[in-house]
Every structure is written in C-alpha cells, then in structure tokens.
Amino acid sequence: MKKLDAKRFLRAAQRRIGTGRAALCLVLALALVAPAGTLGQSAGPKIPALLLGASWYPEQWPESRWNKDLQLMEDAHLDVVRVGEFAWSTEEPAEGVYKLGWLARAIHLAQEHHIFVVLGTPTDAPPVWLTDKYPETLRVKRDGRRAQHGARRQFNYADPLYRTFCAQIVTQLAQRFGHNPDVIGWQIDNEYTDESFDAGTRRQFDNWLKAHFGTIAALNRDWTTAYWSETYDHWSEIPLPMSADENPGLLLAYKQFVTDTWRSYQGVQTDIIRKYADPRQFITTNFGGLGWSDHFDHYVIARDLSLASWDDYVGEGQLHVARNGAMNDLVRGFKRANFWVMETQPGAVDWAPVNTTLDRGETRAIAWQDVGHGADAVLYWQWRSALNGQEQYHGSLVGPDGEPLPIYKEISGTGRQFQRAAAAVAGTTPVAQVAILDSYDSRWAIDFQRFNRNYHQLSVLLDYYRPLRHERLTVDIVNASAPLDKYKLVLAPDLNVISPHLAAHLLAYVEQGGDLLLGPRSGMKNQYDGLNVQRQPGPLAGPLGGRVVEYYALDTTVPVSGELGAGTATLWAERLSVRAKNDKVLLRYGKANGWLDGHPAMITRSVGKGRISYLGAVLDPALMTRVMAWAASDAHVRPEFPPVPKGVEVCRRVGADHTIFILINHGVEPANVTLPEPMKNVLKGDARVAQVRLPSQGVAVLETPAH
C-alpha cells in the first residue's frame, strides 16, 4: 500500500462525502496503514521551515468576509496568521461569559486555506466591564493618576486580581485550543511595557528587597545610603523611584524588580498553557521597542519561553542595515537560538514623526535580512486597515475596502521565495566566531548617569559591530554571563557593571585562550551599581595590568594615534595607566586638554593562553575599523565570504550538512557578486552558479555543502 497523505485524503473526502464522514473514513484508513501504537500520538502538522504571515483580526470584520481575506492570504503565499491578542471583549463580552466559537471557526477556516495560527492571549487590552467594575486592576502612573479604558496596557501587571482574570481567560483558551492541530503556538500578551506605581506594587517591591538583601543593614551598606542621609530604618520607607534622581542602587534594584514582576505575570499564563496544551505548541511573547527597549531584562523574560520573537519596525526613513541586523542578532541571543519576527511593517507605520514608506523592494529585503540573521518566520502588522481605532493609518497588505494595496504584490513575491527556499533553510542557524556582550544592568547603570548626554550605548555597540559585518562576519550578541568557549573573539563595549562573579567568568575565557576586548566605561560599577574600588575595569584591572586613571566627557575631538593608525576620540576618553611589564600600549592621545596628552588610550596584555585588551575611548569610524581589524586578526578570526560590492550584505546560516549564504543588495545600483565556489542558486531553480547579479534590493539564496 502506498504511504497515506492524511491531509490530502481528508480534503478529497470532504469534497465528496462531507466533513463528518470524511473524518471517520480517515480514522479507519489510518488504522489500516499506521504502525501499532501510533494513533494516540499528537505529532501535529508538518510546519514549513520558513514562514511568512500577518496579524489578522477576524473579530473586527463580518464573518462573511473571512474566506475572501484568507484566500487573498493564500494567494500571497502566506502560511501563518497571529490572531486574538486584542480580542478579550469578543472572547469574554461579560464577566464569566465566554464566546470562543467564532475563534474556532476562524482557525478552522484558516486551516482550509493551509494557514497555521499563532494564538495570542488578549491580556494587553482588558475589556471595559473588567476595569470599570474592578478599577484596582488599572495601573497607576508616576503622577499618581490611574490609567483609563480606551487605549491598551492600562492594566496593573502586579495586581493579583488582574492576574486572576488573566488566568481565567487563558485557561478557557488553552482548554479549547491547546490540542488544536492548526494552532502551532501561543503569544503571551503583547509588547510588555508599562509598570504601575500603586501602593500594592510598592509593597511587593518591599518584599522583593527583603528577599534579595535579607536585612535593611545590608541594603544600606550596598547602596551606601549614608550619602545624603538616605539611610533607611524600615523596608516600608523605601519608595518606588519616580525620577532618575534617586540613589543608583535603588534605581537598579527597581529595574530588576520590574523584570521579575513581568516574568511572574508571564508565568501565570505560560504555566496554564503548558498544563493544557500540546508540547508541540510553542510559547513566546513579542518584544517591542525596536529591539533595543530596556523596560526589563529580556534575557530573564526569555528563559521561560520556547522561542524569542520581536517586532521589527523601521519607522521614519529607510532601513539602517547595521542597526537592524544587530537587533536581529540581539534577539537571537536572548535564547541563543533562532527566533521569529512577530510584527514588521508592510511599507509604513503611523507612529513615527514622519511616516515615510519603504522603497520598492525594501520590505522584501528586510524580510530576508531577518532570515539571514536567524528568523524562521516573518509576520506583517497588519493584514487589513482597521476602519477605526488609534492605528487607522498604519501600513497593511489590504485596504479598508478589502482589496490589495501596492505592497501586497511585493509581499506575495517574498512568500514565493520563502516557499522555494524553505528546504534549504531547514535546520540552519547563524554560527559566529565573534560575540558582543550585552548586559541590561550595564545599560541601566549608564543611562541613569550618562555623564555625556550624547553618549548612546547602541551607537557605541554599532561602532564595534559594523566593521565586523562589513568584513562578512557573523556576530552573536549575547548576555555577558553566557557560555563563551566557542568564540575566538569577545567584545564588551561599555560593560559598566562587572561583579566579581562576572569577572571570574570573563577571566576564565581569556585564560583558556580567548581574546577579550573591553570598551570604555567597562567595570566602573559593581552588582549594586556602586563604584568598584579597583577603578576601571574593576575586578579585571589586575589581569589587565592597567586601569583607568580618570574619565572625561568630550565636547570636542581629541587626536589618537599608535601602531593601529591615527584618528580621533569623540564623546568619551579615558586616561589609562600601565602597571604590568608585558602590557603593550596600542594607542595614545595627542595634544588635548592637558590631562590626556600622551597617555594611553588602548592597552593589551597576554593572560594565560589568551589576551585581554582595553579601549578607553569612542573612536571615529575609520580608526575603529582598524582597531576591529587588529582584534579579529589577533584572534585568528577569518571572513566567511570573499569581498563583495558596497551595499551588499552577506548572511550565513549553517546546517549539519550544508551552508546557505543570503546575499542582499541594499544599494541603489545593481551589483555583481563573484562566489568563492559554484553554489546552488536556490531562488533560481537550484542551478549551480559562480556569480550572481543583484538588482537594487535584490536577494540571492545560495547553498553549498558544509566544509
């Protein structure tokens, strides 16, 4: 007997004899051909390795319209939709009254169009009956006013009663859809953002502090509260911070509390879903804030998720290639695994100062850049323009009349490309020789006390990232405490908070043969946001054999030169001292303010089998490129692809038996790229080619056996 294709059998039978009898026939057929013991298993449908989709809101439209929308999606080669994340008032129109039949019908209809569903929990937008009857579930703003109904995120994430209502609606959803074969995953809430400053949350903060510090005396010691007579006698005296003028220890502890509170809020829902749902259904939440948000520690939040996802928006202007690539790498680092892009803009948004539209082809290029950096799915927000509401002007694939907008054709072409490339992409992930370390504690500590208002940490990170990507290198951006043994080179731009434990972790990496380059402001603070007594880089000053004598915010440029070249320092400069005989000075400051003149700006030292270096300045792009070239060469990091024309981005994903390269021409002119060896041209019928020609915003997916 031939192998039975169950879905094909069922669809054919439905056309001939109806849905109910077709299902019975399928069960009988499976009983004849399936191996013993397999019928009770719930493996779920086969999901493509690469998915394209959109956010769909069937609750906003007549049910008679759904089939046409889904047919348009199928015609555009979309294979996944996210539904339900703002539908609480439709799912539970009155307290305890649940109406989920419409959602079941929408999911079933999507399946008929070969479209999978990610089901959102609706807790980002509670219904008015809830917040009107139980106003304590509304969050309190910093100014003491309660949020009101009519927007979203008006809820209090710490309130036990609100969490009870969340648990009830999520239980209903999980029990109803947790074994639905066409629901492949869950999104918890939507873009966690706003905390609450009510009395109950403050009491929770008091309890959190007790658990972390043990005694009020320990807290006073670690926060140095003798300064300005800030000493506390009782936990209840410690405020929720209302401004950046509070004690830095308090500010840092509060951010950590916010992180733990969001994690426990999320945990209420993930625990319920895992109780009732198939393990094959993944659980995620969509991180917002253009990737760089720091409302909470994303590494902590991601621990309890099956996979990370984020919302990739450009906003005003055109794609910033390096920034967007780095944000994808950052999200991949949350779980050190491939991820999803749960929202991205189909052309334009409606919240930027000027809502410019992406150039023709640019929306497709962004989708492929996401994939090149580790995304396995890209979904657009949103499918159809809402007739009313706060985001009427936001870009979509289909207009308010239900007819395709100009961007629909481009996205449809991207869908065809995704389907053609899925087999080659399957089982692959970016693999890097280089890591950039990220730390939310460090981010917060610097932003609490920037010292130079023009010092932007993302810009500093991109100074390190951009030259490496220009040399066709894959870069991981990972938590500073992540395993580092697989990397030849580790970069730590402005790793401001270095505890003794983190220092030991980094030193072990160096002693075992790794190359570590610390950037400016590194090691100034300890885990309580207090100054390290060793001065910078704190516990690593001894191994470095040198330290920061003083730091200077710059309002003008300072000349810098040495064996790595000549250039200028901007924004920030640190005067270094050398204490060990085998320390080497790589760069010195020229004539400046008298304090920096002639003193080291960058030093390096061999330690164990590896090397530790310290760069104490923000450098101009040309000199920074030479510094990164030295760091890569010293660590024996080699480019992964030969040189390419300007504007062409090279992304690499590696599998067990093959490697794919995704080439994207972000330039305005066509580009010819010579390949290092003949490769399969996946999007052009798998012919082996030695060269590809890329139009502006053009993409090539190339496959070669693993070496």
The domains of the chain, with CATH numbers, are 434-634 (3.40.50.880), 648-705 (2.60.40.1180)
Instruction: Count other C-beta atoms under 10 Å from residue 299's C-beta.
Output: 21
- Residues 667 and 670: their CA atoms lie apart, in Å, by 7
And the tokens for 471? Answer: 């040399």
User: Within 13 Å and on the Cβ side, how many CA atoms surround 157?
Assistant: 27
DSSP string, 410-432: HHHHHHHHHHHHHHHHTT-B---
Cβ count near 685 (within 10 Å): 8
* pLDDT for 9: 36
**What is the C-alpha separation between 622 and 261, in angstroms, rounded?**
44
Q: How many Å apart are CA 253 and CA 125, to the nearest integer?
A: 28
* Residue 588 to residue 534: CA distance in whole angstroms: 22
Specify the pLDDT at position 271.
98
* Residue 564 φ/ψ, nearest 5 degrees: -90, 0
CA distances to 175, 326, 469, 499 from 628, rounded to whole Å, are 53, 16, 11, 26
Q: Which two tokens stand for residue 358?
A: 């992406």
DSSP annotation of 85: T
The residue assigned the tokens 């999803």 is 340
Contacts of 427 (CB under 8 A, 6+ apart): 49, 655, 656
Q: Which helix (H) or strand (E) holds 273?
A: helix 248-276
Residue 54, CA distances (Å) to 217, 262, 291, 366, 520 in order: 53, 26, 19, 15, 42
Q: Which residues are bridge partners to 82 per DSSP?
A: 55, 118
* Sign of CA pseudo-dihedral 643, 645, 651, 653: negative
Quick check: helix, strand or coil at residue 635?
coil
Residue 671, beta-bridge partner list: 694
3-state secondary structure of 609: coil
Take residue 408 and report the two structure tokens written for it. Answer: 């629909």
Count CB atoms within 10 A of the CB of residue 19: 10
Q: What is the dihedral of CA 481, 485, 486, 489, to 10 degrees?
A: 80
437-462 burial, b at 16+ Cβ within 10 Å, e below that, comes to bbbbbbbbbbbbeeeeeebebbebbb
529 CB neighbour count, 10 Å cutoff: 26
Side-chain-side CA neighbours of residue 357 (13 Å): 12
Q: At what angle do helices 407-425 and 362-372 cross, to 10 degrees?
A: 20
Residue 307: how many CB atoms within 10 A of its CB?
A: 18
Q: How big is the chain by its Cα radius of gyration, in Å?
A: 27
Residue whose tokens read 């693999």: 431
* Dihedral, 126, 131, 134, 136 alpha carbons, nearest 10: 90
Task: Tell me the CA distances in angstroms from 459 to 238, 257, 279, 520, one per residue in order.
Answer: 35, 27, 40, 13
Residues with Cβ within 8 Å of residue 97, at least 6 apart in sequence: none
* Among 307, 313, 314, CA closest to 340: 307
Beta-carbon contacts of residue 506 (< 8 Å; ≥ 6 apart): 480, 484, 490, 492, 498, 516, 540
Helical (H) or strand (E) element with 235: none
Q: Which residues of 654-682 are buried (b: 16+ CB within 10 A; e: fewer)?
A: bbeebbbbbbbbbbeeebebebeeebbbb
- CA nearest 197: which of 236, 240, 252, 154? 240
Residues 401 and 662 sit within 8 Å (Cβ to Cβ): no
Give the pLDDT confidence of 55-79 residue by residue, as tens digits.
Answer: 999 999 999 999 999 999 999 999 9
Active-site residues, by number, are 191, 343
Q: 637-640 — which CB contacts under 8 Å span 24+ positions?
A: 637/433, 637/434, 637/473, 637/488, 637/489, 638/433, 639/471, 639/472, 639/473, 640/472, 640/473, 640/474
Cβ-Cβ contacts under 8 Å for 535 (sequence gap 6 or more): 541, 547, 548, 549
- Rounded to whole angstroms, the Cα distance separating 302 from 440 reads 13
| Interior angle at CA 628, CA 445 and CA 617, nearest 5 | 45
| Residues 523, 539 contacting (CB under 8 angstroms) | yes
Using DSSP, state whether 659 is helix, strand or coil. strand
Average pLDDT along the chain, 707 residues, taken 10 residues at a time: 38 40 36 30 77 97 96 98 97 98 98 98 97 96 91 92 98 98 97 95 97 98 96 96 92 98 98 97 93 92 97 92 97 98 91 87 97 98 85 86 96 98 97 98 96 96 98 98 98 97 98 98 97 96 97 97 98 96 96 96 98 98 98 97 97 97 97 97 94 97 92
- How many residues does the structure list for the chain? 707
Residue 196: the pLDDT is 96
Give me 199's structure tokens.
């009395």
Token pair in block for residue 122: 């609706």
Running DSSP on this structure, what letter comes out for residue 188?
-
Q: What is the pLDDT of residue 43?
A: 63
Structure token pair of residue 276:
């009732």
Nearest to 497 by CA among 444, 571, 575: 444
